[in-house]
Amino acid sequence: MSADLIDGKAFAAALRGRIATAVAAMKADHSVTPGLAVVLVGEDPASSVYVRSKGKATVEVGMESFEHRLPPETSQDDLLALVARLNGDAKVNGILVQLPLPKHMDEAAVINAIAPEKDVDGFTVLNAGRLATGQKAMVPCTPLGCLMLLRDRLGSLAGKDALVIGRSNIVGKPMAQLLLADSATVTVAHSRTEDLPDLCRRADIVVAAVGRARFVQGDWIKPGATVIDVGINRTEDGLVGDVDFESVRQVAGAITPVPGGVGPMTIACLLANTLTATARVN
């Protein structure tokens, strides 16, 4: 048996198409163009590529993109001043500060300076708290994209046994909250978890977000399980996920490929959040 491939690339393209239609209507009916500001501090090559793709995708759906590239030695006060200016700019509906920030910055202080209604990453404590307490929240893009793919594949997630591997603020924790809100039975595993293979063998849904190339093995997977691979690891063989694709696809019911799975969903969800943020104020 070989797992079905979950085509995140096609799903994301369809979502971007619907967003483009909504943006065109917003322009025609309300003379409003959604605007997304992306801030990059420093010259990390991977971050630079992400920021460029975000800007390109923003323009492609008809939104306005404001890109701010600051030198690595930028002071935290200067960055906070930029965030404050973007918070007050009516043309800016969404603000994303690309992480990681240089070591001399207090990441939490910078993120929490973003106005919650413009926090399209959903990283502020207010949005994280809203998500955790079941209130309307801006939801982090990568887990939101994973949730859309899971719902599309499985329909209701109620009662499913879900294992999230990884406990980051960006993916693992919000992913667990979203699955819980959909009434899955959720386990969060991490580097100190004991008997991970056994935990994994119980799971109907596995979301791997550990940042270790080909970590999840085929003999850990319950036959028919749905496997979502969030990993993007650069190796000598090119980009690979956190899941050992060749062994897992023999056992799983469905799996996201890397590339072409979760990655494209992250950017599409960023645009969806920007549209939501714009609609709430106009």
Q: Which residues make up each annotated binding site?
A: 166-168, 232
When CB distances to ligand GUN are compared, the closest residue is 99
x/- letters, 112..131, toward ligand GUN (CB under 6 A): ---------x----------
Part of the chain binding ligand GUN (CB under 6 A), chosen from 9-17, 84-92, 93-101, 235-243:
93-101
Q: Which of 141, 144, 176, 206 binds ligand GUN (CB under 6 A)?
A: 141
Q: Is 237 a catalytic residue?
A: no
Query: What separation in angstroms does the CA of 9 have from each of 16, 144, 224, 265?
Result: 10, 15, 22, 7
Of the chain, the end-to-end C-alpha distance in Å amounts to 50
Provide the minimum distance between the beta carbon of 127 and ligand GUN in the complex, in angstroms, as a whole number. 13
The candidate with the shortest Cα–Cα distance to 226, out of 139, 160, 137, is: 160
For the segment 71-90, give every residue that binds ligand GUN (CB under 6 A): none
Residue 98 near ligand GUN by CB under 6 A: yes
Query: What separation in angstroms does the CA of 12 have from each of 66, 154, 174, 182, 266?
Result: 22, 17, 20, 21, 8
| Closer to ligand GUN by Cβ: residue 100 or 224 | 100
Contacts (Cβ under 8 Å, ≥6 apart) of 51: 38, 40, 67, 69, 98
Residue 70 near ligand GUN by CB under 6 A: no
Provide the minimum distance between the beta carbon of 97 and ligand GUN in the complex, in angstroms, as a whole number. 6
For the segment 156-185, give every residue that binds ligand GUN (CB under 6 A): 170
Q: Is 54 a catalytic residue?
A: yes
Q: Is 204 a catalytic residue?
A: no
Instruction: Kindly list the strands in the beta sheet with 94-97, ordered across the sheet, starting from the edge strand earlier in the chain.
Output: 64-70, 35-41, 94-97
Whether the CB-CB separation of 140 and 123 falls below 8 Å is answered with yes
Residues marked as binding for NADP(+)?
Answer: 166-168, 232
Task: Give me the catalytic one of 7, 77, 118, 121.
Answer: 121
| Closer to ligand GUN by Cβ: residue 63 or 96 | 96
Whether the CB-CB separation of 208 and 256 falls below 8 Å is answered with no
Do the strands 238-240 and 233-235 form a parallel or antiparallel pair, or are they unpaired? antiparallel
Q: SS3 for 17? A: helix
Residue 142 near ligand GUN by CB under 6 A: yes
Residue 37 near ligand GUN by CB under 6 A: no
State the burial class of residue 188 (Cβ atoms within 10 Å of its Cβ: 0-12, 13-18, 19+): middle
Q: Which of 20, 99, 180, 188 binds ligand GUN (CB under 6 A)?
A: 99
C-alpha to C-alpha distance for 49 and 276, rounded to whole angstroms? 25
Provide the minimum distance between the beta carbon of 204 and ligand GUN in the complex, in angstroms, as a whole number. 26
Which residues are catalytically annotated? Answer: 54, 98, 121
Query: Which residues bind to ligand GUN, rule: CB under 6 A?
Result: 96-99, 121, 141-142, 170
